Amino acid sequence: MDRDWLDGYSMQNLSNHWIFDPFKVLLTSEQVDFWIIHLNGFALDFSIGFFLIYNRTRPYALCVLCLFHITNSRLFTIGMFPYVCLATMPIFCDANWPRKVLKIFSASKSAVKDNDQDKKCTTSLLPAEANRAKQKVKKLKGAPTYTLKIGWKHKVVGFLLISHIGLQAFLPYSHFITKGYNNWTNGLYGYSWDMMVHTWDTVMAVVKVVDHETGQEHFLDPEAWVQTDRWEKHADMLIQYAQCLKSNLLNGVSTNDYRLSKNISIYVDIWCSLNGRFQQRMFDPRVDLLTADWSPIKEVSWLMPLLTEFSSWRKQITKLEKEIYSWSEYSDVIFVADFPDLTLENYISEDLTNITLTVLEGDVIVEIGENETVQPMRKAKEKISWHRITKDESVGIPARTFHRVHTVSMTPACYMYTYVNHTRQLQDQKENGNTQNAEVGQKNKGLWNEFMLRLQNIARAIGLVSNAILNVLYSVPMIKRVQVV
């Protein structure tokens, strides 16, 4: 019942998948996203449990669930999860469902013989009759009437079950205790019951190591030692990451090129968008992670708040995106929001042309040109230009130089970069003739490619596991071998 889900912002562009093609006969992509994925998904999650309980509705509910799980298995790369769900569906059925199914099959084969057996099987499972049968047996033996005895084993099992259920019911509401794990979304990772509700889009992660003795700044590839980007979004993992980074850096990994002193600081700057909002900073980039305080039960003080005041911009963002995509096939846009007194330092690659920064709200100063600290050899000071711009004003940004966007208004500012990817345009023009033939070939190769991809995954998994074992045995830090695409 999350607001973002009900408003249709949690899983945008999912409707592009072929599995939704049948719906697109009648609906547009946006309608499929909103009505089929979000609202229908909500209705399904909300009601399917009840439909599974009642005998009358269960067969239909099972069919719907089957479709749901198969869709999921095609739609997401979540491994065996949908198949496990499919396999566990029968737990909602009567305990004798396998016999019922067998009955259907055997009835057609040899009706008389198996019918007898089935009767035996089904009756033995009905509890009332089973009890009666048991009592009969006991009476025959001359035993006293059957009474249920609760032994200590039952009590232990009962206690464990109730504790387990209690824990499962409590953990999703435990965020008021585990405050250190809360951020834009609440909670210990698995226990917030918000699967698929939040889509994160991280455009930039900067890891900066400052050596206090030499005053030098070093920038590190965020993927150098970790294979996923999950740590970028959790304060507790970020702290762990910084500590690991420090020990790896100081334990001689870097000695070939440069030597770090023992007095270093580590800063990160993560730019991320939640459910189609603006790209914004997630953590305070001025906080040294090695000395930052973090406690499981205290709120993370260096977490930047989610700019929910801009959430209503999302309709506008969709509209603007459409407009900008219509300029040309290669035009694109990024929406950015930033906090007062902070600066976005950015370098635009040579791929892009026609780059324009337009302010949507607030005031910013755009500083364009080489910075002395970046290019100490050149006398770059003269080349720097300053532009103070406000709502609905824009400024052109040259490629291949650094520029800084200082937010100077009292409230957060938001702005957008529009640009054209010139490299892609040139590439497409070159390959214009060949593309159509290539596409046909690729479609035929689809299955083969998927098979090869699986093989590569297995090889990668073996590589990672052996790397991890080596790490445990020899405590050698894991070095990046494979690039996660």
Ligand X SMILES: *[C@@H]1O[C@H](CO)[C@@H](O)[C@H](O)[C@H]1NC(C)=O
Q: Which residues contact ligand X by CB under 6 A?
A: 182-186, 212, 263, 303, 305-306, 327-328, 331, 349, 351-352, 354, 356, 371-373, 381, 384, 418, 420-421, 423-424, 427
Between strands 352-361 and 394-396, the pairing is: antiparallel
CA angle 76, 23, 80 (to 5 degrees): 20
Nearest distance in Å: CB 368, ligand X: 11
Q: CA-based diameter of the chain, in Å?
A: 108
In 54-193, which ranges are continuous DSSP H helix? 58-75, 81-88, 97-109, 111-125, 127-141, 152-170
* 82 alpha-carbon distance from chain centroid: 17
| Dist. CA 267–CA 219, nearest whole Å | 10
Amino acid at 206: V
Complete DSSP assignment for 233-284: G-HHHHHHHHHHHHHHIIIIITTTT----S-EEEEEEEEEEETT--BEESB-
Q: Which CB sits closer to ligand X, 95 or 374? A: 374
Q: Which CB sits closer to ligand X, 82 or 369? A: 369
Nearest distance in Å: CB 450, ligand X: 23
Nearest distance in Å: CB 380, ligand X: 8
| Dist. CA 104–CA 126, nearest whole Å | 19
Q: What's the number of CA atoms in the CB half-sphere (13 Å) around residue 147? A: 6
Closest CA to 274 of 222, 203, 361: 203
Q: Which CB sits closer to ligand X, 226 or 303? A: 303
The residue with tokens 């019918």 is: 115
Q: Which CB sits closer to ligand X, 132 or 298? A: 298
Nearest distance in Å: CB 381, ligand X: 6
| Dist. CA 141–CA 322, nearest whole Å | 83
Q: What's the number of CA atoms in the CB half-sphere (13 Å) around residue 230? A: 7
Nearest distance in Å: CB 420, ligand X: 5
Nearest distance in Å: CB 239, ligand X: 16
Question: What is the DSSP-derived secondary structure letter of residue 156?
Answer: H
Q: Which CB sits closer to ligand X, 9 or 68? A: 9
Amino acid at 414: C
Q: Which CB sits closer to ligand X, 94 or 351? A: 351
Nearest distance in Å: CB 477, ligand X: 24
Nearest distance in Å: CB 320, ligand X: 11
